[in-house]
Every structure is written in structure tokens, then in C-alpha cells.
Amino acid sequence: MTVATAPGKAILFGEHAVVYGRPAIAVPVAEVQARAEVEDAPAGAGITIVARDLGRTIHLRHVKPGDREALALARTVRNALERLGHRSEPDLHITISSSVPIGRGLGSGAAVATALVRALTAHLGGYLTSREISDLVYQTEILHHGTPSGIDNTVIAFGKPIFFVKGQRDDVFWPGRPFWLVIGDTGVSSPTREVVADVRRGWEADPVGYEAHFDAIAAIVEDARRAIIDGNLPALGRLMDDNQRELEAIGVSSPELETLIGAAREAGALGAKLSGAGRGGNMIALVEDDTRGQVRLALMAAGARNVIVTRVS
């Protein structure tokens, strides 16, 4: 058996604007992981995928059009096999499990696809760079999200903080000092594909207004990168609050997110904002070492379904 894993991710700055050519910053979240196990199957069995968290067993030869979950896994497998030079389908049994919450902005689909590509590559004796893995997973992301930015597959495949500009840059960089994030789950599924499409409709109806918001977000991201490199956490927190205001202005926040964001700030967070597509999913709060516990408790008291504390270094 060959086993591979991949972390979740959180977008710190720049969601939605990143789809329109502006920069974004994302970090891996190692506290949650996707796991793929690959082993040989009997001759003639083809490829079977057991998706434990979905409660499904999928036979690649029998995937039906319209079955998006199965199609995403099948595309990942077939694209990886093609990149690895396998023209015929080997006989494999694949088991997938994940602690990355689905529909919460933590990159669950990209994490599963990355773990799957890594496991297939190792099991079949191949080699793919992080860039090649990211490119393959991006093809899966298109099925999940329609017009993805590419940031999820990039940060998860590289496993490092990323300064990202779609189609131009994905620079790994290191913080001047480690910092802590507390991630609170609203308990509301974040419909990424729908929210991204709604933002596009808003942009098409009011391109001047939306471009102004995207430009403001871009300036925040640039300042945030400098604050992270300098280790200036108070400035970083203020920039998170600024980014949240822009996201509220383009209509991707929600009452549930704003309740948790307010609770985090009241409990001593340096800054807080939604993370990911919005209208549900997760929010993130920047905290210091001595406040992470109280912020975590405040989020739980405010109704967070789950809370993750992660260190970025």
C-alpha cells in the first residue's frame, strides 16, 4: 500500500479579487489533512475508489455524466495516469479519507485531489514536481468551482505560504515571525461555485465599482505581505479588518460570519475576516500566543461549529 497526504488551506487575503488578476495570500493548514491509499487490485478489476467521507464506492469504468463527485475523482485519476505515461488503466484499489471539512473554504477538494495524485505517483513509481501536481489538481478544481483562481491547488501542492497572482506568480515566502490563526466554522456550507458566479454577475453589471473594490483589496494584500515578512502583527490584523470590509461591500459575507468575526475581535484578536468564498464556511482571526485560547472559547460560545488553531511559520 502507498499512502500520501495533503493539508487544508486558508486564504489570508485577496479572495474573489484574485480571480480578476489581483494578488492573494494563502497558507497551508496542517491540522486538517486529506489521505489517499493506493494498492494493487486483482487483474481485470480496473480502478475502484472508496470515498469514506462520502460513503461511496466508485468504479471508474461506470462513472455517469452529471455525477460531479465521481467525475472529479475520475478526472484526477485519469489526468495523473496520462501525465505519468500510463495509456491503459491499471488495476488499483484506492481509499480516500479526509479531515478537511467540505464546503468550508479550507480547500477540501484540492486537498483530496493532491493526496490522490501524490499517492498514484508514488505507487506507480513516477515523479511529479509540486508545480506539475498543482497543474493537475487545477483541472479538478475547474469541475468543483467553474472558474477557480488556482490558489487552492497551489498552496496545498507546495505546502508553504504563497503570494499568488493568477497566471503570473506563486511565490513561496516566510514570515518574519510565526503567528497564530484561529479558524471558526459557521456551520453553514459555503457554495463556492455559486458565490464565485454571483460575484462575476455583479462585476459584469457594475465593472467600475467592482474593479475599485478589487484594487483596494490588491493594495491590502501587498501591504499584508510586507507586514508578514516584517513580523508586524498589529498591522497585519488591521489589514484583515480592512479586507473584511471590502468583502462585505461585494456581498460575500453573511450574518453568521460577522457574528464570529465580532466575537473574535471582542475576545482580543488582532484582526478577523472571512476566508474563502464566503456566505458561510470559515472565518479566521489573527491572535497572539496568549490570546489564542480565549479567542477559541469566544468563538465556541458564539456558535462556531468547530474551531481550529494553527501556527503559520
The residues carrying an active-site annotation are 152
Task: Tell me the C-alpha distance between 132 and 246, whole Å.
Answer: 34
Q: Are 71 and 143 in contact (CB under 8 A)?
A: yes
- Measure the CA–CA gap between 179 and 224, rounded to whole angstroms: 13
Pair type for strands 162-165 and 282-287: unpaired
Best CA proximity match to 306, nearest among 196, 188, 203? 188
